[in-house]
């Protein structure tokens, strides 16, 4: 009995001391590699923008931000939504010219070299643009992913067709995600909108559009994505894990995916968001990709994901109940400590992405982020 009490006292002292140090042992057990933890917080870089009605309202300019490039034939598509005499929604496609805007390193026109700051030596950046379509088109595959300098905004000048009343006469302008270009009707993934009928020009709302409302710019049928939630992540030996709490439920057509970002700003996928490990098989490590449409998934409600986890371990590590498929990239930076398993990584990002998004990390879509504890890589 005496030995048991002595052991308990020592354990308490060890855990108490560890709790005051960032290099503490994981709360899941005092034995094994230490867990180096850090906080994760939302940064708010979600899809958005504004719509401006032009002239007599026969066209509109949309300035869009935070869009992710889409995979394959998937595309973004614009719609004008009105009501017929019976109060039913009438949805017609809008087409327009498309221009992307981004920043790039300034290039000396004579030497072809990158222009750098005379004092710091850092490259200087200038604004640039790319004409996606000079003529009217109804589909847009999204901006090209730029690892360092993402697209800052996309401008679409949409015009109504002969069979459609002027854009200004519509109740709303809506953007959806379609599995293929030129869709005849919008999918349920109607994620950006502005009710121009009652509200005129102004900011777009991000979430899930609830249909026409001729009285107000908002509707009780809308789902507006909330910027809420936070998390705690840690590196323990060959294991990485991020536990998230009370995040906004993804709009229809969206999901969460986690990345570790290396010293060059390139993201390596860790995993999709799942429920945490549980002794109940049906609730353990459940794929939360369909949290946008299924509130019966573990931890999912009408407006939030109360808890979720992104976890993986380095390939070949053999950690129990872990995918063990994470591969750290090789980088040219000689300051990277290659002797540490996660020495190449500097940041964790949980991105809110379209389900049909192109593979790979796109900085413009960042939603939650945290800097990895220095002890992990230094």
Residue 33, helix vs strand vs coil: coil
In a domain, 4, yes or no: no
Report pLDDT digits (tens) over 60-96: 899 999 999 999 999 999 999 988 888 889 898 988 9
Structure confidence at residue 292 (pLDDT) = 98
Which pLDDT score, from 0 to 100, does residue 349 have? Answer: 97
Is there a domain that residue 71 lies in?
yes
The answer to whether residues 268 and 260 touch, using CB atoms and an 8 Å cutoff, is yes
Q: What is the pTM of this model?
A: 0.87
Q: Which one is predicted more confidently, 18 or 180? A: 180
Per-residue pLDDT tens digits for 87-107: 889 898 988 999 999 888 899
Rounded to whole angstroms, how far apart are CA atoms 209 and 251? 9
Cα three-residue angle 292-297-301, rounded to 5 degrees: 65
- What pLDDT score does 84 carry? 84
Confidence of residue 268 (pLDDT cuts 50, 70, 90): very high
- Rounded CA separation 55/74 (Å): 32
- β-strand partners of 125: 105
H or E element that contains 73: none
| CB neighbour list of residue 57: distance below 8 Å, 6 or more residues apart | 166, 167, 168, 169
Stretch (H or E) spanning 129: strand 125-137
Residue 7 has pLDDT above 70, yes or no: no
* Percent of residues, the chain, with pLDDT higher than 90: 64
Residue 340 burial (CB < 10 Å; 0-12/13-18/19+)? Answer: middle
Same domain, 178 and 250: no
For residue 74, is it within any domain? Answer: yes
* Residue 327 CA, distance from chain mean position: 22
| Domain co-membership, 318 together with 359 | yes
What is the per-residue pLDDT across 139-181, written as a single tens digit (0 to 9) for each? 999 987 666 667 788 999 887 654 445 677 789 999 999 999 9
Q: Is the pLDDT of residue 44 over 70?
A: yes
The reply to whether 13 falls in a domain is no
Q: 151 with 256, same domain? A: no
Question: Measuring CA to CA, which residue among 92, 343, 349, 53 is closest to residue 212?
Answer: 92
**How far apart are alpha carbons 72 and 321 in whole angstroms?**
33
Q: Is residue 284 part of a domain?
A: yes
| Structural domain span for residue 140 | 48-224
Residues 123 and 237 in one domain: no
pLDDT tens, residue by residue, 299-312:
999 999 999 999 99
Please give the pLDDT value at position 11.
37
Q: Which residue has the tokens 């679409």?
A: 156
| 213 and 156 assigned to the same domain | yes
How many helices, marked H, and strands, marked E, lie in the chain?
3, 19
Would the pLDDT of 26 be above 60?
no
Whether the per-residue pLDDT at 329 is higher than 60: the answer is yes
| pLDDT at position 334 | 84
Res. 218 pLDDT band, cuts 50 70 90 = very high
Q: Are residues 91 and 24 in the same domain?
A: no
Residue 97 buriedness (CB in 10 A; 0-12 / 13-18 / 19+) = middle
Q: Does any domain span residue 11?
A: no
Of 177, 207, 224, which residue is a domain's last? 224
pLDDT at 160: 63
Among 224, 243, 272, identify where a domain stops.
Answer: 224
Query: Is residue 10 in some structural domain?
Result: no
233 falls in which pLDDT band (50, 70, 90)? very high
Could you write out the DSSP letters of every residue in 188-252? S-EEEEE-HHHH-SEE-EEEE-----SS-SS-TT-EEPP---EEEEEEETTEEEEEEEEEEPPPT
Residue 94 in contact with residue 78, Cβ under 8 Å? yes
pLDDT at residue 19 is higher than 50: no
- Find the range with the poorest average confidence among 28-37, 115-124, 314-323: 28-37
Comparing 32 with 172, the larger pLDDT belongs to 172
Domain boundary (178, 198, 224) is at 224
| 158 and 284 co-located in one domain | no
Closest CA to 169 of 53, 52, 57, 62: 57
pLDDT tens by residue, 341-360:
999 999 999 999 999 999 99
Cβ of 285: how many Cβ atoms within 10 Å?
18
Task: Report, as an integer, the average pLDDT of 259-282.
Answer: 93
pLDDT band for position 30 (cuts 50, 70, 90): low
d(C-alpha 12, C-alpha 5), whole Å: 11
Query: In which band, very low, low, confident or very high, does the pLDDT at 6 lie, cut at 50, 70 and 90?
Result: very low
Domain count, the chain: 2
Beta bridge mates, 215? none
Least confident of 97-111, 219-233, 249-263: 97-111
């Amino acid at each position: 009995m005496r030995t048991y009490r002595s052991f308990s006292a020592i354990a308490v002292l060890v855990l108490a001391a560890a709790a005051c140090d960032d290099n503490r042992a994981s709360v899941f057990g005092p034995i094994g590699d230490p867990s180096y933890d850090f906080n994760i917080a939302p940064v708010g870089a979600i899809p958005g923008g504004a719509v401006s009605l032009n002239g007599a309202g026969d066209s509109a300019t949309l300035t869009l931000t935070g869009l992710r490039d889409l995979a394959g034939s998937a595309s973004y598509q614009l719609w004008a939504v009105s009501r017929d005499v019976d109060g039913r929604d009438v949805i017609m496609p809008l087409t327009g010219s498309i221009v992307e805007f981004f920043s790039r390193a300034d290039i000396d026109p004579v030497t072809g070299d990158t222009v750098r700051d005379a004092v710091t030596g850092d490259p200087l950046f200038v604004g640039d643009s790319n004409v996606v379509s000079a003529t009217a088109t109804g589909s847009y595959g999204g901006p090209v992913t730029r690892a360092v300098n993402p697209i800052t905004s996309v401008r679409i000048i949409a015009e109504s067709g002969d069979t459609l009343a002027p854009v200004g006469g519509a109740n709303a302008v809506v953007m959806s995600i379609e599995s293929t270009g030129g869709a005849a009707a919008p999918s349920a993934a109607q994620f950006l909108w502005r009710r121009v009928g009652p509200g005129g020009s102004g900011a777009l709302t991000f979430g899930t559009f609830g249909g026409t409302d001729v009285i107000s710019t908002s509707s009780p049928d809308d789902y507006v994505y909330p910027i809420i939630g936070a998390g705690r992540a840690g590196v323990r030996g060959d294991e990485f894990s991020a536990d998230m709490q009370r995040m906004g439920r993804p709009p229809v057509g969206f999901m969460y995916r986690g990345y570790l970002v290396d010293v060059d700003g390139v993201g390596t996928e860790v995993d999709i968001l799942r429920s945490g490990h549980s002794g109940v098989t049906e609730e353990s490590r459940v794929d939360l990709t369909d949290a946008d449409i299924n509130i019966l998934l573990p931890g999912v409600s009408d407006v939030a994901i109360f808890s979720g986890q992104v976890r993986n371990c380095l390939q070949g590590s053999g950690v129990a109940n872990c995918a063990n498929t994470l591969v750290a990239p090789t980088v040219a930076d000689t300051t990277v400590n290659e002797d540490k398993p996660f020495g190449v990584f500097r940041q964790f990002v949980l991105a809110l992405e379209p389900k049909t998004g192109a593979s790979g990390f796109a900085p413009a879509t960042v939603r939650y982020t945290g800097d990895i504890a220095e002890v992990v890589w230094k």
